[in-house]
Amino acid sequence: MSTATTTPVRGPENRARRPWWERVLGKHPMGTAFSLPYVVFLVVVFAYPFGMAIWMSFHDYMFTAPGVTIEHPFVGLDNYVAALTDPDVRQSFVNTGIFLAIYVPLTVVGSIVLASILNTAVRWAAGFRVAFYVPYVTASVSLVGVWLLLFSQNGLVNTVLGPLAPDPSWLINSGLAMPTIALYVTWKQLGFFILLYLAALQGIPRDLYEAASLEGAGAVRKFWHITVPGVRTVSVLVLILAVIIGAGLFTEPYLLTNGGGPNGASTTPVLLIYQKGIQQTNPDVASAIGLILVILVGLLALIANRVGKER
C-alpha cells in the first residue's frame, strides 16, 4: 500500500531562516549579481539624468560655476510654454516630421525588399550583405565627408545632373536639406534593418513558398502573402526603431548642414536641445523640449505597435 508524500510548505518562518544573501538577491543570486552592474548603469546613465531633466523643466535652472549655489525657483509650466511658443522649436518638430515621412517608409520598404532578394539564391549574396552593412558600422564623420563631396555645389551629383541640378545646391537648399539628410540616414542605417529581416526570414518555412509555386503564385504574390505576414513582428520593431532614430537625429544635421542650416530648415529637436542647453545656457527650456519629444516619440511608438498588432 503506497503512501502519499507531501511537500512541506515554505511559510514565513522558513523564509525567515533563509540566508541573508538569498533574501536580498533572491533564489538566483548569481544572476542577480551579474545583472547588478547593468542596473547601476541604467540608474546612473538613464534614470538619474531623466529624473533631473523632469525636475529642471519645472524650475528656473541655469548652470553655475563649481561651488556656486543659487536658488532654482519652481516655475510650473513656464518652460513648456516658452518651448511651445518658440517658432524655432515648432520648426524643428516640423523638420523631424518631414524627415520621418521620408526615412521611415524608405527604411521599412527598402530593408524588407532587399532582405527578401538577398535571402534567395543570389550570386555574391554574402558580398552584398557586407556591402549593405559596412556603412552602418562606419563612423558618421567619415561618411559625411563623402556625402559633402557628392552633394556640394560642384559635387559629383550636380555634375551628373548638369542643368537639372538644384540651385541652391542640396544641403544649402531649404526645401532639399532635410530630404537629403533623410536619404543619407536611410543609406547608412539600412544594413542593420536588412540583417533583422534576414534573421526573421529564416523562420518562414520553405514549404510555404514551394506550395505557393505549385499553385502558380509569382514572386510578387509570394512576397505579399507569405513574406510580409511572416515578418510582421520584425516590421513593427523596425518601424519603432526607425521612429526613435529619426526623433533622435543630431549628428547628421550638425555635420552636413553646419548645425541645422539653411535658416533652420534642418534643425531637429535634439540639435535645438544642444543649442539651447549648452550654447545658450537655457537648460530648463531644453529639458522641457526633451520631455515633449519623449512624449511624442512614446505616442508614435505606441501607435506603431498597435497598428502592427491589429494587422
Which CATH number fits the domain that encloses residue 176?
1.10.3720.10
Check whether 274 has a pLDDT greater than 60. Answer: yes
> Which band of pLDDT confidence, cut at 50, 70 and 90, is reported for residue 22?
low
Q: Do 82 and 27 share a structural domain?
A: no
Domain match, 86 and 50 both: no
**pLDDT exceeds cutoff 90 at 223:** no
Rounded to 5 degrees, φ, ψ at 73 are -65, 150
- How sure is the predictor about 311, in pLDDT bands with cuts at 50, 70 and 90? low
Residue 2 lies in a domain: no
Q: In this structure, is residue 22 part of a structural domain? A: yes
In this structure, are 153 and 280 located in the same domain? yes
In the 3-class helix/strand/coil scheme, how is 238-250 assigned residue by residue? HHHHHHHHHHCCC
Q: What is the CA radius of gyration of the chain?
A: 26
The cell numbers describing 29, all together, are 543570486
State percent of the chain over pLDDT 70.
89
Pair 43, 177 in one domain: no
Number of domains in the chain: 2
Task: Tell me whether residue 4 is in a domain.
Answer: no
**Domain containing 33: what range?**
12-57
Q: What does the pLDDT average to over 34-50? A: 87
In this prediction, residues 287-294 reach a mean pLDDT of 94
3 found inside a domain: no
Q: Kindly state whether residue 71 falls inside one of the protein's structural domains.
A: no
Q: How far is CA 16 from CA 6, 29, 138, 218, 223, in A?
A: 22, 17, 55, 67, 59
**Both 42 and 99 in a single domain?**
no
Q: Examine the domain organization and report whether 20 and 103 are in the same domain.
A: no
The predicted pLDDT at position 196 comes to 93
Q: List pLDDT tens digits, range 171-191.
A: 998 999 999 999 999 999 999
pLDDT tens digits, one per residue of 78-104: 999 999 999 999 999 999 999 999 999
What mean pLDDT, rounded, does the chain reach? Answer: 85
* Pair (27, 115) in one structural domain: no
Note the pLDDT tens digit of each residue in 128-167.
Answer: 788 888 888 888 888 888 888 888 888 889 889 988 888 8
Confidence of residue 57 (pLDDT cuts 50, 70, 90): very high
Does a structural domain hold residue 102?
yes
Question: Is residue 104 domain-shared with residue 31, that is, in the same domain?
Answer: no
Whether 242 and 286 map to the same domain: the answer is yes
In a domain, 68, yes or no: no
232 with 111, same domain: the answer is yes
Is the pLDDT at 14 greater than 80, yes or no?
A: no
Lowest mean pLDDT among 108-117, 122-131, 210-219, 260-269: 122-131
Give the per-residue pLDDT at 1: 46
Q: Indicate if 244 and 276 belong to the same structural domain.
A: yes
Establish if 141 belongs to a structural domain. yes
Please state the rounded mean pLDDT for residues 283-290.
Answer: 93
Three-state SS at 74 = strand
94, containing H or E segment: helix 87-118
Q: Is 59 helix (H, G, I), strand (E, B) or coil?
A: strand
pTM, 2 dp: 0.83
Does 128 or 289 have the greater pLDDT score? Answer: 289
- 188 lies in the same domain as 103: yes
